[in-house]
Amino acid sequence: MVATRKTFTMREKDLKSAILKIKHGRSKFSETSLSVAAVAREAGVSTALIYNHYPHIAESIREAKGRTKRIQQEQKKLELKNALAKCKELRSEITKLTKTISKLASINETLLIENEVLKSKIPLIKVTSILPSH
């Protein structure tokens, strides 16, 4: 038996029919939400076939879900803008914290030197206890 291949137009009709079946709840596979994968299953094709040979069908599915490429691109641009602003804010905070660490390190060094000086003076100072001895 020789399998006949469907033409581009026939396959396109099958895909559009699959979209309508899913939208109206008459899917063979009980698909409830419209997606490229659901349409591919319903039409008996792969998702790659839809993306590679019927990009207008994939776009119409995205439009039906309210996620066109343009909307997705704008959303990604907004996410990128927000991420860049957050990075700028974090870099500024890092700069401030680095300055604070530098100041604290300087204070720490000064205190260590003062501590050494005071320790070296202890043997020279005669300390008398004010507490009564037992």
Domain ranges of the chain: 8-67, 70-113
Q: Residue range 31-48: average pLDDT?
A: 91
pLDDT in tens, 3-38: 788 899 999 999 999 999 988 888 887 888 889 999
Give the separation between CA 21 and CA 15, rounded to whole angstroms.
10
Task: Give the pLDDT confidence of 56-113 residue by residue, as tens digits.
Answer: 999 888 888 776 777 778 889 999 999 999 999 999 999 999 999 999 999 999 999 9
Please name which of 89, 92, 68, 62 lies closest in space to residue 81, comparing C-alpha atoms: 89
Query: Which tokens belong to 124?
Result: 């020279």
Cα–Cα distance measured from residue 129 to residue 134, given in angstroms and rounded to the nearest whole number: 12
C-alpha span between 57 and 12 (Å, rounded) = 8
pTM, 2 dp: 0.50
Query: Please, how many CA atoms are within 13 Å of residue 111, restricted to the half-sphere of its CB?
Result: 6
**How does DSSP classify residue 45?**
S
What is the band of 2 on the pLDDT scale with cuts at 50, 70, 90? low
pLDDT greater than 80 at residue 125: no
User: What is the reported pLDDT for 25?
Assistant: 85
